[in-house]
Structure 1
Amino acid sequence: MRYDDSPPPPESASSISPDRRWFMRRSGLTIAAASLVPAALAAWVLTQALTGSGPDRQPPPAAAPLPASHATGLDGKPNTAAGATGATPTGTSRSAQPPAKGPLAGRTVVVDPGHNTGNFDHTAEIDRQVDIGTKRKECDTTGTTTNSGYMEAEFTLDVSRRLRTLLEAKGLKVVFTHETDRAWGPCIDERARIGNEAKADAVVSVHADGVSEGSRGYHVILPAEVKSGKADTAKIVEPSRLLGERIASNFGRTTGSSPANYLGSGTGLVIRDDLGGLNLSTRPKVFIECGNMRDSKDAAQLTNPQWRQKAAQGIADGIVGFLGG
């Protein structure tokens, strides 16, 4: 028996039994394997964290595109986030739109904001004559202004953007004839062509009138039956009338405005054969004059953002009703 703390003398290989040598080898392998397991597990966890892969080895989902409805706020100003809007050769439409849903999915509406703020600086270009079927007419005009200088083109673009947001919420595809993508125009024949090429289910051109003080109210302009040169409206007269009636009734109810007191005999509906945008259209189309910018009372409404939202809602409700939504 030993009484000190010194280690026992080492066993010689020859003095160890075969069974003991086998046990020592197995114990050493077990310890070595056990020491490798934590290192391998740590490496696997680090790989998953860096690659974002889960047990099914699928990569993480890509960032979702910006929904189309975010491209314009209720203040009418465009969202400048990448991908919010896009331009096409025949008009301006959304990019990265979410999948359309609802009873109106797959239907197309073309919205035509009347005039362009740049037209005032490009009078030579917009004075160029174009063929509207019944005659030749200026490519475009400047539009009117309020007495304080608020442009019709500013008004029409703001209402059109609000209208687009409302229509897209119903699942409709909305195409603009222009937005902020060009310095002037487009010409009236091009505006008609954009609606035709889009095979639009409805086209609405947004305007405001510029007549004398005391002339108040809205009116919707319908195409006359015209067949001359490039113009042939026979197929669109009736559906355009139905579209116009829907918009007029909804617009008046939503905004609280009355039909124009200076034309249309109080119906809010007027038929014309001298507008190229109507004469050259092959799709149901109307113009709406939302009020008179030269009348102080109408101008107070037209310059009010809350009223413009109501105007957009009234037009949207008319379009949706016409399309059966």
Structure 2
Amino acid sequence: MPYHHRKLLTLTLPLVLPFALTACGGAATPVPQSSDAPGATTSDAKDSPAGSPAGAAGSQGTESAGARESAHPSQSGPARSGSATPTADRPLAGRVIVVDPGHNPGNFRHSTEINKKVDIGTTRKECDTTGTSTNAGYTEATFTLDVSHRLRDLLEKEGAEVVLVHDAERPYGPCIDERARIGNAAKADAVVSVHADGSATGNRGFHVILPARVKDGAADTGAIVAPSRTLGEKLVTHFARTTGTRPANYIGSGTGLDVRNDLGGLNLSTVPKVFLECGNMRDPKDAALLTDAGWRQKAARGIADGIEAYLQG
């Protein structure tokens, strides 16, 4: 979840959604936040201090169903799966898709490590953050890992080779710059970073964060701005259609799209990449959806359909 209290570079586009849509913050008490959000939502991780009691409580409930043993890239590489053999009923065969579960359930135990700043080209930002949580303590890191597992399984059935940036097998992270490097090293056809926002009550809906045109230091997004926008537009259409939720009513002017130049995961990417904020964990109505396993399966299906639509042109 990225912060919503700072200035954002937002691009408003006339996006027409060819279907009917239905409606899909910070608190005084410490809650996990992500470092890349306006307002306290995603880190690239998100821009907020880590290590909160809410994160500790929620992380213990992280769903591990579908998790598989995999080493971190610094050891023997991220989790890879799937077949490259194309068949008629496997439309994504031969495609490499990187799924990036935002944050890590263990981040709250490693505030020193995740608060260490890394270079994102335009500036330096925290390695990662804890992410946000619902008022009841269901953490963003738990949510993102669950949706990512579901998404991986769906994409594999379509024949894709899936690289999972992490599977909570490491104590914290990876840092936002390393997340970008994993997608780059995989030569991914598409990368989706799964998140949930942490904005104010009443702010509802999902949005896709797109990379701005950046060229500074190690950051050069010139080649990925256009394809990332196309990926984002496909995700907006299919996520809304499948989940029955609307684009955010508080960012993106109803388009479901937001352009950012301050997220390391986007700035340092050399392959098409977007962040998807699936809803606002701090709004009770959105939280009811995000904590529902049936809705999370719909979310994964919507993401998979959007990726497939993008790759099929």
TM-score (norm 1): 0.73
1:89 aligns with 73
Q: Give the letter aligned to residue 107 of structure 2.
A: N
Q: Structure 2: state its 5+ residue gaps.
A: 1-61
**Residue-by-residue CA offset, 1:199-239 (whole Å, 9 max, x unaligned):** 00000000000011000000000000000000000000000
Aligned length: 248
| Change over 3 Å in CA distance of 1:312–1:190 after alignment to 2 | same
Gaps of 5+ in 1: 1-74
Contact kept, 8 Å, 2:72 with 2:170, in 1: the verdict is no
Alignment of 1:1-325 (within 5 A): 77-79=64-66, 85-87=69-71, 89=73, 91-94=77-80, 101=87, 102-324=90-312
Instruction: Tell me how far apart the structure 2 counterparts of residues 95 and 108 of structure 1 sit (CA, whole Å).
Output: 10
Distance 1:98-1:270 versus aligned 2 partners, 3 A rule? closer
Equivalents in 1 of 2:297, 2:152: separation in Å?
11
Report the residue type matching 2:65 in the other structure.
P
**Residue 103 of structure 1, CA deviation:** 3.6
Counterpart-to-counterpart distance in 2, 1:261 and 1:108: 33
State which structure, 1 or 2, has the greater radius of gyration over its C-alpha atoms: 1
- Residues 225/308 of structure 1: CA separation in 2 closer, same or farther (3 Å cut): same
SS in 2 for 1:117: coil
For 1:306 and 1:198, the matched residues in 2 are separated by 31
The CA distance in 1 between the partners of 2:305 and 2:286, in whole Å, is: 22
Structure ranking higher on relative contact order (CA contacts 8 Å, 6+ apart)? 2
Where 2:159 maps in the other structure, the secondary structure is coil
Q: Which amino acid aligns with 2:202?
A: G
Partner SS state of residue 313, structure 1: helix
In 2 relative to 1, CA 136–314 (structure 1 residues): closer, same or farther, beyond 3 Å?
Answer: same
Q: Percent identity at matched positions?
A: 66
Q: Which amino acid aligns with 2:145?
A: L
Aligned-partner Cα distance in 1 for 2:260–2:81:
35
Alignment partners' CA distance in 1, 2:117 and 2:238: 36
- Offset of residue 96 of structure 1: 8.3
Structure 1 residue 76 displacement after superposition: 5.8
Q: Is the 8 A contact 1:85 1:95 kept in 2?
A: no
1:76/1:247 Cα in 2 relative to 1: closer, same or farther (>3 Å)?
A: farther
Structure with greater helix percent: 1
TM-score, normalised to structure 2, is 0.76
Query: Helix, strand or coil: the match of 1:199?
Result: coil
